[in-house]
Amino acid sequence: MRSALAFVVVLAIGCSPTATSPTPSAISASPKQTAAASASASLPPRLQDSGAPLPAVAGAFVLFQLPSETGLHAISFGADVNGLIKGQAPQTTAAAGWSQSPFGAPFLVDPTVYDRDGKEIGTTPWAKKESKTWSSDGRFLCAAVPATTSAGAQMRLEMALIGQAAKTIATGFTTYSDNAAYPVLACDQGTDRAIVAVLGQGVAAARLYVLRLSNGALIRSVDYAGAGGWVAASADGSMLAESVPPVAPATNWKTTIRSADNGAQLGTIDDLLVRGFSGDKTFVVGNTPSAVAVVDWKTGRKVWSASGPYGGYLAEPAGSRLAVGIGFVGGSDQRDVYLVGPNGVLTLLPERVRVSLHY
């Protein structure tokens, strides 16, 4: 369901595990990817932000913050509209002090939610330390939380409309460990799906649960224990990307794209640890040890790549464009954010911007 909120737009979202993610070992480009065109030969011109107000137009936007500013700017995923909004967020030493919903606004400066005009429209019911995920329509948030903070407590999947109390959707599908993270990878009313991952030590996929959002019924669970890999989900919860690490020095990461509901294999990608999908599920974004890439997973065509450590992404809701970060490591200010479309890079945001990227 979509409603006209915030940017005079319909709202939708992806998901954002907050745990540290794994780093792949030596990876070389597959033959299909090597033969494909790459847009990494030279840096595109950086966006010259005018500081003018953002026009009141519909669309999906990426919020960003310039160095030493608390104000928030916005740019459309197609890079054709940009400007300053009235919202504010604190400066932080890490990547961003807010979490944007899929269309940019509303946005969360935990625990308060604001609209594009910087007006408070509600709060979330969870503690700041809890990982929260925007729903695919941006009307509510989801979180997986323990019934108590004691090891062995029952985990609950909860959802909450902005400014309202949390509603329990499912309980008892797994138990709490203080050595694990429990990100909600997808929360979508359209497909009636929610996906909760268990990340052992916060850095490797241990288990995954596909649940019906309307009633909490368990559709499928997956045991990744001991594999040391990573898992990502499409925003609508219909697809998974399961990345498996090398088993020997001479081998590389391999990712399998699967149906979330039944595990059916839909495709494979060599030499890429996949972090997420585009909104239309046509492309995946991922990394090698030395570069970040956007790839058409059905054909292996590399749409774009750039050297540097992976730094997160945002997906245009139901679209093919992505915002991709490079260099967000240890709170470093040396970071770049590219807007990437089906044919390569669209623009490069100003230097050292902060963006609310999913990892």
Interval 228-263: pLDDT, tens: 899 999 999 999 999 998 876 656 889 999 999 999
Nearest in space to 300 (alpha carbons), one of 339, 274, 262? 274
Q: Is the Cα dihedral 4, 101, 275, 179 positive or negative?
A: negative
DSSP letter at 333 equals: S
pTM of the prediction? 0.86
The pair of structure tokens assigned to 192 is 């009636």
CA distance 237 to 212: 10
Give the pLDDT mean for 105-121: 95
pLDDT confidence of residue 5 = 34
Give the pLDDT mean for 289-299: 94
pLDDT confidence of residue 227 = 83
Of 225 and 264, the structure prediction assigns the larger pLDDT to: 264
pLDDT confidence of residue 250 = 57
Residue 120 has pLDDT above 60, yes or no: yes
The structure tokens 């319909």 sit at: 10
- Across all residues in the chain, what is the average pLDDT? 86
Give the pLDDT mean for 319-328: 92
Residue 40 has pLDDT above 60, yes or no: no
Pick the CATH number of 4-355 from 2.130.10.10, 1.20.1440.20, 3.90.1150.110, 1.10.240.10: 2.130.10.10
Q: Which residues lie closer than 8 Å to 14 by C-beta, 6 or more apart?
A: 102, 134, 136, 186, 235, 276, 279, 314, 315, 358
Give the pLDDT mean for 181-206: 95
Going from N- to C-terminal start, the domains of the chain cover: 4-355
pLDDT confidence of residue 95 = 66
